[in-house]
Structure 1
Amino acid sequence: METNYVILLDYSSGEIIKIRLSDKEIQKSESYEDFEMFLSTIESKYNFRLKDCYWMSVEYLKERSYI
């Protein structure tokens, strides 16, 4: 599975953060043994703190909302 999207649940602010990784970011992420280490390198770019988030990575983004 190739990671194209990262979804973060920021429990300190109550935000859902959806990130579509660029081709450059995807290549960079593959150079890390641990994907979480890669995520720590993009915290400032996307304005989140990894220690305050649960996250998942997916190849395809599908959404459902019951709001």
Structure 2
Amino acid sequence: MQTFLLILLFVSISFLDYRYMIKEKKRKILVIYTIILSVAFVITELHVLGYRLKGLNQFVSYIMDLFV
């Protein structure tokens, strides 16, 4: 059920944005937006399914500890 709601959310968001970008013929922005939206969908779906992912703040803290 959560996966269905997640798909519905992403489809509704993309429908509103894609309509504008196709109308204005902004192809580069459309490709970049699709890539970013796809990555966001995969990360969110993995979170919903219960997979533990490292957060960006943990990565930044690790890099900072190397240099400080």
Q: Tell me if both proteins adopt one fold, taking TM over 0.5 as the criterion.
A: no
TM-score band w.r.t. shorter chain = under 0.3
Q: Which gives a bigger RCO, structure 1 or 2 (Cα 8 Å, sep 6+)?
A: 1
| Structure with more strand by fraction | 1
| Structure with more helix by fraction | 2
Under a length normalisation based on structure 1, what TM-score does the superposition of the two structures give?
0.25
Structure of larger gyration radius: 2
